[in-house]
Every structure is written in structure tokens, then in C-alpha cells.
């Protein structure tokens, strides 16, 4: 018989619709903590997985798990659980998470596969037990969670020449199953959470550099001179270059938001949802770019391209620094480049690539908007965000100098002034979450009348 302290075990044969709201909330609370903790734990591994297929498996698992935690959390609040009653994951689950973090990426992927399978069984049983009309919302909840499990386990369709073959071969070994049991079965600790979501700080090992696939030709920036293709190049060369450059930058743009999920426990749940979505978008972009290169008859590994490692300039830095360098000023540059390229692609016979980049542009606007939103959350005020942006970019330039990352990485510290001088599309910038203050400064700079 379930009790308040130890509600019905997940996978209990008792129908979910026979449980009181309180006891069913206890089950959901355990699953909420399990999915959020597992998603955050797995997110730490992104820079350790070199090639496309294992990254796809990891990103899909993280996106699915964080998505489930958001659904479970929303339902918990509907079930008379107050935010100060969320509790925390049990000590066994936190210990298992720290142990996973000390291990390999392969082990993490095996755990992800086993956990998603365990969750599939759990949600299937819970959904099957919600037969009564009073369990309507619970039946919907578990159905939505099952849809996310299916997304999380969707097999990656590899490029024909993908050196990783048909995706990672993950098997749920005994160790992975034991870890899954620690996540799913350990009771939550009761009481007020110490963070907004109840999720704990994790022992995430530093990861100052990322692992690149052999074909990616990432090199120390000091050794290369970054060059855009000449404007006289044929359209095909420009399109190939844009696709290939995109693949390189999508990798970095996947890793940073995932590391943010793993390393920062003090943010609201929406932050983890945004970062998981951001990483998932970048994975999709990687696949889209690969597909278009393939459709153009090119093997992406043989399209010559070298780009500096911009991951190392952000790894280990504070959250606001990362949001500014990657998104508020970095992906913001991509907005202008894409908006400029899309009509030219259409007019030069690459309508299909133009449509793809149009969708990518919509995603990139959202990524910048996430950064602007969370920077305001961290600093509270547009003027402070602007000052913090300037300081972060000054600090970036010092790092670039110290580490020999090259001119490609250098940024002008006054971001709005720089954007303004390049006649930015202010409507796009508004969609990207820049404030009225930011937009006014950009507009003023573009006419040269700013103080």
C-alpha cells in the first residue's frame, strides 16, 4: 500500500486511477526528478562525443528527458503540489549521476538508452492504469511523455559515408540497468528544494576542449587565416562554403547550451527547456546541412574547410559570458548573414537551400532571444545587460589574445554600436529579444547620431 512518504512504486500493478491525487503526485514527483536529473547529467557529455551519430543519440535523449520533466512539473503544480514541496532527487540518484559523470560517453549513452526504455515501460503502465474519466489529464500526460520517449530513441539516419556507421551500438548492460533503477526507484527527498527546480549541483568534470570528428579539420585558430570565399566565386562554391561552415559552427552551438544545462543548477525549469531546445535545433541544423551537401553530390568530410575552435573560449566561463559570446553577439551575427543570403540563394537557383536556411533563421532568432531573456533574468536591467555584454566581449578579446585564437574570434566590445553601423534589420532584432533600449541604440548608430 503506498504511503505519503513512499508513494506507489513506479510500475506498480495498482492502476494509476485508483491512487489519490496526492499519491499519484508522489509518483510524478519521482519521475520529474529522475528525468530532470538524468537530462542534466547526460547533457554534460556533448563535447566528449566526436561524431554526428552519437551526438544525435545524446541530444535527442536530453531533449526528450527535459521535455518530460517539464510536462511532469506542470502536472505536479496542477495536483496541489506547491513549488516549495517539490523536494529533491534521492541521494542514490544523485550519487548515480555523479558516478556517471566520472565515466565515459559510451557509458552515458548506454544509460540513456536503458533509461528511455525503462521510462517507456513506466509511462505505458501508468497510462494503461488511467482508465477513469477522473484520470483524463494523467492519461494525456503519460501519452505525451511516451511521445517524447519515442522522439528520444528515434534512430539516426546516417550519411552514407558516416564513419560511425548506422549510429551508436548501445546495449543496456547490467551496470546501466542498475543506474536506471537508482534513478527511477529511489524515493525523492522531501522538503523544500534548495534550487528553483529542486535539482542539485552535479560534479561535472571540466571539459576545456571538445572532441572533434576526424573529418572536421578543426585546428588551432593561430594556425589559420579565416577567409570567406571571394565574391567572384561561382554560386556553388559559396553555397558549399556556407553549408560546410554551418556544420562546424552547429557543433559548437550544440555543446555550449548542453553544458549550461549540466553545470548550472540554480535556474528556473524553463531555462533547461530552452537550452535543450537550443541544442536540439543545432543537431537538426547539422543534419539539414549534411543532407543538402549530400544532395549537391558532396561528401562533407572532403569539402575543405578550417575553422578555429571557439568552444574552448567559452568552456568554463560564467553563464552570462557564454550567453553573450555564443548567442547575443555570436548567433546574432548569423541572423544578418542568413537574412542576406536567403534571397540571393533563391535568385541563383538554390531555392531548396534558401527554404532550409529560412527555417534555420527562425531557429537562430529564437536562440538569441533565449540568451537575451536569460541575461535579463540574471541581471535584471537592459542597461546592466549592455554593460555586462561590453565587459564580456572585452574579456573575450583578452582570452583570444592569450590563447592565440586569431582575429576571427575578436569582437568589438560595444555590440549595439557595431550592429548599428552595419544597418541591422531591427524587426529581426526585435524578434531576437533585443530590448527597446538595444534597438534604439542600434538605430541611432546606423544614422551616426548616437552619442
- For Fe ion, give the closer residue by CB, 164 or 364: 364
For residue 32, the minimal CB distance to Fe ion (Å) is 28
Please give the residues from 288 up to 347 whose contact with Fe ion meets the rule CB under 5 A: 331
The window from 97-105, 194-202, 285-293, 310-318 that contacts Fe ion (CB under 5 A) reads 285-293
- Among 60, 75, 259, 285, indicate the residue that binds Fe ion (CB under 5 A): 285
- For Fe ion, give the closer residue by CB, 367 or 419: 367
d(C-alpha 429, C-alpha 431), whole Å = 5
Place of cell 540574471: 378
For residue 281, the minimal CB distance to Fe ion (Å) is 6
- For Fe ion, give the closer residue by CB, 29 or 277: 277
The window from 20-28, 88-96, 246-254, 258-266 that contacts Fe ion (CB under 5 A) reads 246-254
- For Fe ion, give the closer residue by CB, 331 or 332: 331
Cβ distance 76 to 131 under 8 Å?
no
Please give the residues from 201 up to 220 whose contact with Fe ion meets the rule CB under 5 A: none
For residue 360, the minimal CB distance to Fe ion (Å) is 6
d(C-alpha 52, C-alpha 18), whole Å = 45
Cβ distance 404 to 221 under 8 Å?
yes
For residue 249, the minimal CB distance to Fe ion (Å) is 7
The window from 22-30, 245-253, 297-305, 394-402 that contacts Fe ion (CB under 5 A) reads 245-253
Residue 237 corresponds to which cell in the numbers above?
562554391
Tell me the site size for Fe ion, rule CB under 5 A: 7
- For Fe ion, give the closer residue by CB, 24 or 325: 325
What are the Cα distances from residue 408, in Å, to 338, 405, 441?
A: 18, 8, 25
Place of cell 543519440: 57
d(C-alpha 309, C-alpha 306), whole Å = 10
- Among 41, 253, 254, 286, indicate the residue that binds Fe ion (CB under 5 A): 253
For residue 163, the minimal CB distance to Fe ion (Å) is 22
- For Fe ion, give the closer residue by CB, 265 or 330: 330
For residue 157, the minimal CB distance to Fe ion (Å) is 19
Cβ distance 138 to 126 under 8 Å?
yes
Q: Is 88 helix (H, G, I), strand (E, B) or coil?
A: strand
What are the Cα distances from residue 346, in Å, to 236, 414, 425?
A: 13, 34, 19
Helices of type H across 296-350: 311-314, 319-322, 332-347
For residue 211, the minimal CB distance to Fe ion (Å) is 20
Please give the residues from 346 up to 385 whose contact with Fe ion meets the rule CB under 5 A: 364, 367
The site string for Fe ion over 47-86 (x = CB under 5 A, - otherwise) reads ----------------------------------------
The window from 118-126, 249-257, 286-294, 431-439 that contacts Fe ion (CB under 5 A) reads 249-257
For residue 367, the minimal CB distance to Fe ion (Å) is 4
Q: Which of 389, 281, 274 is nearest to 325 (CA)?
A: 389
Helix axes 235-263, 52-78, angle to 10 degrees: 50
What are the Cα distances from residue 262, in Å, to 97, 193, 224, 369, 392?
A: 11, 18, 32, 21, 22
- What are the backbone dihedrals phi and psi of residue 218, each rounded to the nearest 5 degrees, phi first? -75, 135
Binding site for Fe ion (CB under 5 A): 250, 253, 282, 285, 331, 364, 367
Amino acid at each position: 500500500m503506498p504511503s505519503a512518504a513512499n508513494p506507489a512504486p513506479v510500475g506498480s500493478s495498482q492502476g494509476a486511477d485508483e491512487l489519490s491525487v496526492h499519491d499519484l503526485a508522489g509518483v510524478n514527483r519521482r519521475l520529474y526528478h529522475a528525468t530532470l536529473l538524468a537530462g542534466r547529467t547526460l547533457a554534460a557529455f556533448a563535447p566528449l562525443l566526436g561524431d554526428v551519430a552519437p551526438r544525435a543519440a545524446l541530444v535527442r535523449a536530453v531533449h526528450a528527458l527535459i521535455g518530460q520533466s517539464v510536462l511532469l512539473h506542470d502536472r505536479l503544480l496542477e495536483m496541489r503540489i506547491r513549488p516549495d514541496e517539490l523536494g529533491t532527487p534521492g541521494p542514490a540518484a544523485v550519487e548515480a549521476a555523479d558516478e556517471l559523470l566520472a565515466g565515459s560517453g559510451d557509458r552515458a549513452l548506454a544509460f540513456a538508452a536503458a533509461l528511455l526504455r525503462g521510462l517507456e515501460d513506466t509511462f505505458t503502465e501508468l497510462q494503461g492504469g488511467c482508465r477513469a474519466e477522473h484520470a483524463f489529464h494523467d492519461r494525456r500526460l503519460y501519452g505525451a511523455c511516451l511521445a517524447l520517449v519515442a522522439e528520444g530513441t528515434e534512430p539516426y539516419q546516417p550519411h552514407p559515408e558516416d564513419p560511425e556507421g548506422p549510429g551508436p551500438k548501445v546495449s543496456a548492460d547490467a551496470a546501466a540497468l542498475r543506474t536506471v533503477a537508482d534513478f527511477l526507484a529511489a524515493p525523492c527527498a522531501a522538503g523544500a528544494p534548495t534550487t528553483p527546480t529542486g535539482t542539485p549541483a552535479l560534479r561535472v568534470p571540466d571539459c576545456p576542449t571538445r572532441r572533434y570528428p576526424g573529418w572536421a579539420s578543426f585546428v588551432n585558430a593561430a594556425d589559420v587565416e579565416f577567409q570567406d570565399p571571394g565574391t567572384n566565386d561561382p554560386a556553388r562554391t559559396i553555397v558549399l562554403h556556407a553549408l560546410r561552415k554551418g556544420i562546424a559552427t552547429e557543433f559548437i552551438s550544440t555543446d555550449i547550451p548542453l553544458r549550461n544545462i549540466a553545470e548550472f543548477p540554480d535556474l528556473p525549469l524553463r531555462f533547461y527547456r530552452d537550452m535543450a531546445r537550443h541544442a536540439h535545433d543545432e543537431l537538426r541544423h547539422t543534419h539539414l546541412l549534411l543532407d543538402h551537401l549530400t544532395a549537391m553530390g558532396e561528401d562533407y568530410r572532403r569539402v575543405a574547410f578550417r575553422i578555429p575552435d571557439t568552444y574552448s573560449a567559452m568552456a568554463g566561463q560564467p553563464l552570462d559570458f557564454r550567453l553573450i559570446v555564443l548567442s547575443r553577439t555570436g548567433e546574432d551575427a548569423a541572423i544578418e548573414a542568413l537574412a542576406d543570403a536567403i534571397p540571393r540563394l533563391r535568385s541563383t537557383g538554390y531555392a531548396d537551400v534558401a527554404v532550409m536556411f529560412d527555417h534555420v533563421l527562425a531557429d537562430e532568432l529564437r536562440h538569441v532571444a533565449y540568451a537575451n531573456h536569460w541575461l535579463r533574468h540574471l541581471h535584471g536591467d537592459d542597461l546592466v545587460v549592455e554593460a555586462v555584454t561590453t565587459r564580456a566581449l572585452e574579456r573575450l578579446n583578452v582570452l583570444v589574445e592569450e590563447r592565440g585564437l586569431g582575429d576571427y574570434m575578436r569582437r568589438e566590445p560595444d555590440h549595439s554600436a557595431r550592429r548599428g553601423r552595419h544597418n541591422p534589420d531591427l524587426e529581426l532584432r526585435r524578434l531576437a529579444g533585443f530590448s527597446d533600449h538595444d534597438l534604439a541604440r542600434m538605430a541611432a548608430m546606423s544614422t551616426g547620431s548616437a552619442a
